[in-house]
């Protein structure tokens, strides 16, 4: 008979200081080393993912003028990023309600993801309101002055992401590359944190449901349902969290050759309710398939595993190898603007370990084993990772500590999701 326990029983153990919480990293490394982890050995596994997640938006409501100063806004810009006005016509109160997509952008270098990070960093934001009667109101605001600021998702934390190649001879601009995607089969990019990913730890959503408490960019949030394009084979999640509690190092803008994207982070606790949950949580990168798609038509051209691409989680920089190019390709194409060529410094808070710099730097000042993938007789180098495994590990560790310290309590889903 399968052993079982409830969320309430796990919570009781945690309150008594007897509960065992380990990160997905710790669990998988112990399994990989040959250790036999049983049902009695762990109560909660903390999982996480961090990477480009286009289906992310913010809902903001804040004051821009005094009462009766204008009737209605027709357009709102935040640091030049367009915001969608509505749905509540609060403008006679001097308040605007807006929605901002993470992929909306001011130009090719600044978009919604950059704006959200600036807000969470408590930077001052320029606000422009155009009214229906042709007036223009200019002001500034900060997150502290925005009482309602929620980050939401239409689809985040896919269980199974993809890798992409360009089989054609000509290069192509794509959201899956930072410079134009080279062909034919000259490079591969991919997304997903493999064995750390929440829906890889709980693929049948036995513990994750509507109302599951999570960390989104370090702030407490909740799963509110399945995301768009979710399917039994490729599930993903909708979620919501208050931006006031978020940490800037876990979200931001990510520039691609097809325009700005947004990267964001989730951490989800997986209570080990039965032996089946534990067995799924123990799955390693080697067991998790990664489908390789044609970047043009999104049709499969092959299949690998996450073990083929996750070999080295951190990018390293040796300034002594810098050859001081007249135009630094790393500085101009780094998707998070993490490198300052003049100072020869990497901003660790901005760097998402994507690895683009490894192939862009002519002097070889950046290093990381990104891996080479075999597809039939082709050997294809990995040139871009749109997920940050190191940062996901850090977030899973944060969630573990919060659970053990009693500042994050497990929640029972109010409804299951269709797996």
* Percent of the chain predicted with pLDDT > 70: 99
**Quick check: is 19 in a domain?**
no
**Quick check: is 340 in a domain?**
no
**Quick check: is 79 in a domain?**
yes
**Quick check: is 34 in a domain?**
no
Per the listing, tokens 């500034």 go with 140
Burial class (CB in 10 A: 0-12, 13-18, 19+), 340: middle
Residue 330 · residue 357 · CB < 8 Å: yes
CA distance 142 to 119: 6
pLDDT tens digits for 215-243?
A: 999 999 999 999 999 998 899 999 999 99
Segment 367-383 shows an average pLDDT of: 95
CA distance 83 to 307: 40
Q: Does the structure show a pLDDT above 90 at 419?
A: no
Segment 55-74 shows an average pLDDT of: 94
Segment 15-38 shows an average pLDDT of: 97
CA distance 375 to 75: 49
Grouping H, G, I as helix, E, B as strand and the rest as coil, residue 151 is: strand
Tell me the residue range of the domain where 107 lies. Answer: 63-142
How many domains, in total, are found in the chain?
Answer: 1
Q: What is the CA radius of gyration of the chain?
A: 22
CA distance 350 to 183: 29
Alpha carbon 67 to chain centroid distance?
39
Segment 377-389 shows an average pLDDT of: 96
**Quick check: is 125 in a domain?**
yes
pLDDT tens digits for 79-108?
A: 999 999 987 766 789 999 999 999 999 999
């Amino acid at each position: 008979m399968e052993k079982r326990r409830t969320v309430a029983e796990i919570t009781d153990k945690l309150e008594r200081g007897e509960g065992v919480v380990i990160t997905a990293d710790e669990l998988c490394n112990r399994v990989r080393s040959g250790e036999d982890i049983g049902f009695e050995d762990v109560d909660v596994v903390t999982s996480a993912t961090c990477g480009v997640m286009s289906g992310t938006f913010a809902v903001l409501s804040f004051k821009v003028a005094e009462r009766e100063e204008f009737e209605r806004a027709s357009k709102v810009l935040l640091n030049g990023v367009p915001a969608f006005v509505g749905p509540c016509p609060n403008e006679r109160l001097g308040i605007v309600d807006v929605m901002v997509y993470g992929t909306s952008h001011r130009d090719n270098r600044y978009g919604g993801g950059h704006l959200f990070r600036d807000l969470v960093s408590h930077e001052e934001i320029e606000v422009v309101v155009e009214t229906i009667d042709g007036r223009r109101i200019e002001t500034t605001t900060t997150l502290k002055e925005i009482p309602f600021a929620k980050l939401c998702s239409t689809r985040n934390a896919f269980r199974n992401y993809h890798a992409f190649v360009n089989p054609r001879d000509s290069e192509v601009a794509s959201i899956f590359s930072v410079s134009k995607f080279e062909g034919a089969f000259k490079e591969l990019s991919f997304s997903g944190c493999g064995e750390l990913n929440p829906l890889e730890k709980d693929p049948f959503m036995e513990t994750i449901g509507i109302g599951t408490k999570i960390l989104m960019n370090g702030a407490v949030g909740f799963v509110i349902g399945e995301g768009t394009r979710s399917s039994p084979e490729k599930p993903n999640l909708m979620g919501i969290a208050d931006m006031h509690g978020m940490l800037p190092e876990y979200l931001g803008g990510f520039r691609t050759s097809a325009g700005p994207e947004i990267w964001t982070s989730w951490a989800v606790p997986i209570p080990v309710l039965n032996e089946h949950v534990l067995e799924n949580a123990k799955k390693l990168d080697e067991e998790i398939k990664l489908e390789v798609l044609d970047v043009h038509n999104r049709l499969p051209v092959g299949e690998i595993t996450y073990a083929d691409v996750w070999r080295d989680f951190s990018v390293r920089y040796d300034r002594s190898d810098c050859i001081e190019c007249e135009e630094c390709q790393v500085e101009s194409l780094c998707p998070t603007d993490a490198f300052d060529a003049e100072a020869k410094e990497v901003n660790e808070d901005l760097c998402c370990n994507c690895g683009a710099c490894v192939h862009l730097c002519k002097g070889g000042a950046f290093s990381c084993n990104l891996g080479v993938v075999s597809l039939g007789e082709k050997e294809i180098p990995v040139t871009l990772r749109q997920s940050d495994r190191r940062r996901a590990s850090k977030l899973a560790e944060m969630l573990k500590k919060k659970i053990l310290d009693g500042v994050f309590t497990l929640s029972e889903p109010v409804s299951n999701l269709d797996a």
